[in-house]
Structure 1
Amino acid sequence: MTSSERTDVAARTAGTFRRAWDDLAPVGRATDGGYRRFAWTREDHVLREWFAGEATARGLALTTDRAGNQWAWWGDPDDTPGVVTGSHLDSVPGGGAFDGPLGVVSGFAALDALRAKGVSPRRPLGIANFVDEEGARFGVACAGSRLITGALDADKARRLRDADGITMADALSTAGRDPRSLGKDPETLRRIASFVEMHVEQGRGLVHTGDRVGVGRMIWPHGRWRVELRGQANHAGTTPLADRRDPMLDLAAFIAHVRRAADEAGALATVGKLHVHPNGVNAIPSQVTAWLDVRAEDESAVRAVLAALQEYAPTEESWTPVTVLDADLADVVAGALHDPPRLGTGAGHDAGILAAAGIPTAMLFVRNPSGISHAPAEDADEADCLAGIDALAAVLERLLA
């Protein structure tokens, strides 16, 4: 390509990125500046329609698998398994703008860049939108990828309930999907030769190295557990302190115990979600349900935290062992990007679920100047995002050759 042609492609890529970002910015925006985009809600429907529209505008074939994950294909993956990129569009409560959407938007922008360069791929290219990656509504992270790989049992998934008591099965029905379709999806998995997920970094590793883009090395082992603390409901104004059975006191002790156990084990542990019943300001609760998230670079540290909390009988809701991303594919990525830094991460991703299912998988990370994620302050400079798109396009071009 000439210098003028390269400049034109760069300008188009920037335009594609800005337009997509403007389209997505209002969807699920909360008053605190963060986002609330939960699976199988009105906001999720709008996001899925946006994805379908982007696929249609590019003449891509749009398919939906048994879990509801969306796939936009350039080429026929039933003839030859393809290279897939993408991420997710849902969020945690009050989440940032970049976690997930950056990977989906970048997938479409990278495809446009490859077409503008006149690349003729020898295998199909797919862009994925995984549903319910954050697990914010039903409590299981990466539900869409776990379902199609068989890591999440379909019957268990259908029974999962949100904070309002709505089951995933009911939510799917309301959204116009048949919950009976949930299950392992070998047909979809056969279409994926390799998967490259681009994601905003959820830390400050690239800030410290001074690089715009890095390559994933591994994903820490991590899991979620549920703890039930029971007491006796009673009147806040008439029940003497000595006569109370208040599970909120047990919750306070539990949280303090979690912090000590994590500190001693060298792990990260968080109690970030609660259900209190009956949740009245003038009533002593009868029950508190708390969710525990534990992560560490080494699985033994996670297990040490759980061992220290056995008196609370935590119930496992999800578990992901350490995921070492494909070394050969990481070398291809590093070669395309001139040996960028390689990073481990404590954040879970659909890439990790696919890797555990035996699909060669790599990750790219884009610098986050704040280092903050899952919060409104999550950020990425446009120049870094565009550098990430260029990097993704270079990687995909190599893999499609």
Structure 2
Amino acid sequence: MSFDRMWADLAPVGRDADSGGYHRYTWAGADTDARAWFTGEAAARGLDVRTDRNGNLWAWWGAPGPGAVATGSHLDSVPDGGAFDGPLGVASALAAVDELRARGVRPARPLVLAVFVEEEGGRFGVPCLGSRLTAGEISPERARGLTDADGVTWAEAMEGAGHDPDLMGPDPDTLALLDVFVELHVEQGRALEDTVHPVGVASAIWPHGRWRMDFTGRADHAGTTRLADRNDPMLPFAHTVLAARALAEEHDARATVARSVIVPNGTNAIPSLVNAWLDARADSEDTLMAVVEGVRAQAEAAAREHGVGVAMTAESLTPLVSFTHGLRDRLAAVVGTRAPDARGPVLPTGRPPSPEGASRGGGFPPSTATGVPILPTGAGHDAGVLAAHVPTAMLYVRNPTGVSHSPQEWARPDDCHAGVLALADVLQDLLARPVGEAAS
């Protein structure tokens, strides 16, 4: 299968030799190389590759026009991320084109493969930035001013990559061409591993968001300043991290503080500032906001106690996404026409997961009313952003470790092949349906 050759070609791009994790940051070297890989693969298939004004890539099979069936994902990563999150959907989309052509399929309407920029927010902080810009869910002014850890703005990085940041903004004309969008993704949990199904279908994406917290104190000497005289922002910051965990447990939600910047970050200096980011997710918007407001209250109380200022600002907020039921059920029916395969051994294509890295956590009990598992996720995706504008659905490929955003993220080669075939089946079915009836 062409997938294997492509996967082997892409695998070294941005991979850390020591950890096996990936560092593909938007508009930087490895991301540029990955985008060039996609452009080359698409051009080799005779696809018409175009870059939109927000930096997203679109590879058209057939002349761009209305009624298009779209698929794809992203190529960027979180710091030291896994190989499969994003790239699996991109490589599978290219391999699905090969499969359709091998079947003799000649689409009567366009098929387009999309690669969205900055899905992870790994460099500039806001996730799904390319799809948000396209959908008009973030202003171009705000996007241009986003900065990375070195103070480089999105506008500067984008211009350095050869694109004009002044052209960014909503792209309703492109969205209007799409009749349906299907994203294939590695499962970010372990629900499918407990079934005989290598491929499942998404039901919903939990509401989720990111909030920046700025704790402002006073820099001073660690050895000479009495404890009673300190305005140390590390103390309310530490209290807030523990409060976030406790509130998440209380509400059966998710809350994580995994990124922080300490100023001046000296061993013998009391910090003057701590910037930190809260990632919160829950099964309902009311629960999500209960967690976030609880964290805010705890942060403010702890800051007052220690004579520290605190500000908490939403950087992104995505409401509950329930994928179109008709389209979801259609995908499940199409995927269900193939008999599930027995699980084979994990065959390494990179760094295999260690037994210690395997986890049963992070998954959700799948619904199997249709035979094919239909399951929700707490992870955000470009598909979730587009869902408010285009009938959208997702396929998940089984992940035996259940781990994601880590080098332990995994999918068996046989399951990847099953994902390609399932995606090809779905695309063939959608291409054969009348325009406007994808969700029925």
Which of the residues 132, 141, 148 maps onto 1:146? Answer: 132
Paired with 1:281 and 1:55, the residues of 2 have a C-alpha distance of 50
Aligned to 2:411: 380
Is the contact made by 2:222 and 2:270 (CA closer than 8 Å) also made in structure 1? yes
Amino acid in structure 2 at the alignment position of 1:44 = D
Q: Does 1:64 align with 2:95?
A: no
Paired with 2:95 and 2:408, the residues of 1 have a C-alpha distance of 24
Aligned to 2:242: 256
Paired with 1:372 and 1:53, the residues of 2 have a C-alpha distance of 30
Deviation at 1:381, TM superposition (A): 0.2
Aligned to 1:336: 334
* Secondary structure of 1:224 counterpart: strand
Deviation at 1:177, TM superposition (A): 1.1
Paired with 1:326 and 1:161, the residues of 2 have a C-alpha distance of 35
CA deviations on 1:51-92 (whole Å, 9 max, x unpaired) are: 1101110010011112100010100132x3210111000000
Q: Does 1:352 align with 2:350?
A: no
Paired with 1:326 and 1:107, the residues of 2 have a C-alpha distance of 21
Aligned to 1:236: 222
* Secondary structure of 1:309 counterpart: helix
Is the contact made by 1:66 and 1:184 (CA closer than 8 Å) also made in structure 2? no
Percent identity over the alignment? 56
Aligned to 1:315: 313
Paired with 2:19 and 2:227, the residues of 1 have a C-alpha distance of 37
Paired with 1:106 and 1:198, the residues of 2 have a C-alpha distance of 8
TM-score w.r.t. the length of structure 1 is 0.94
Is the contact made by 1:88 and 1:101 (CA closer than 8 Å) also made in structure 2? yes
* Matches for 1:161-172 after TM superposition, within 5 Å: 161-172=147-158
Is the contact made by 2:53 and 2:164 (CA closer than 8 Å) also made in structure 1? no
Which of the residues 41, 44, 47 maps onto 2:34? Answer: 47
Corresponding residue pairs, total: 385
Amino acid in structure 1 at the alignment position of 2:21 = G
Deviation at 1:40, TM superposition (A): 0.8
Paired with 2:31 and 2:135, the residues of 1 have a C-alpha distance of 22
Is the contact made by 1:269 and 1:295 (CA closer than 8 Å) also made in structure 2? yes
Aligned to 2:13: 27
Ranges in structure 1 where 5+ consecutive residues have no aligned partner: 1-13
Ranges in structure 2 where 5+ consecutive residues have no aligned partner: 300-310, 337-369, 433-440
* Secondary structure of 2:387 counterpart: helix
* Secondary structure of 2:290 counterpart: helix
Aligned to 2:80: 94
Paired with 1:239 and 1:209, the residues of 2 have a C-alpha distance of 60
Paired with 2:227 and 2:424, the residues of 1 have a C-alpha distance of 64
Paired with 2:152 and 2:287, the residues of 1 have a C-alpha distance of 35
Paired with 2:195 and 2:31, the residues of 1 have a C-alpha distance of 36
Deviation at 1:298, TM superposition (A): 1.2
Aligned to 2:363: none
Which of the residues 204, 207, 224 maps onto 1:218? Answer: 204
Which of the residues 359, 364, 368 maps onto 2:399? Answer: 368
Paired with 2:37 and 2:67, the residues of 1 have a C-alpha distance of 25
Paired with 1:93 and 1:99, the residues of 2 have a C-alpha distance of 12
Deviation at 1:32, TM superposition (A): 1.2
Paired with 1:106 and 1:253, the residues of 2 have a C-alpha distance of 44
* Secondary structure of 2:85 counterpart: coil
Deviation at 1:158, TM superposition (A): 0.7
Is the contact made by 1:215 and 1:343 (CA closer than 8 Å) also made in structure 2? yes
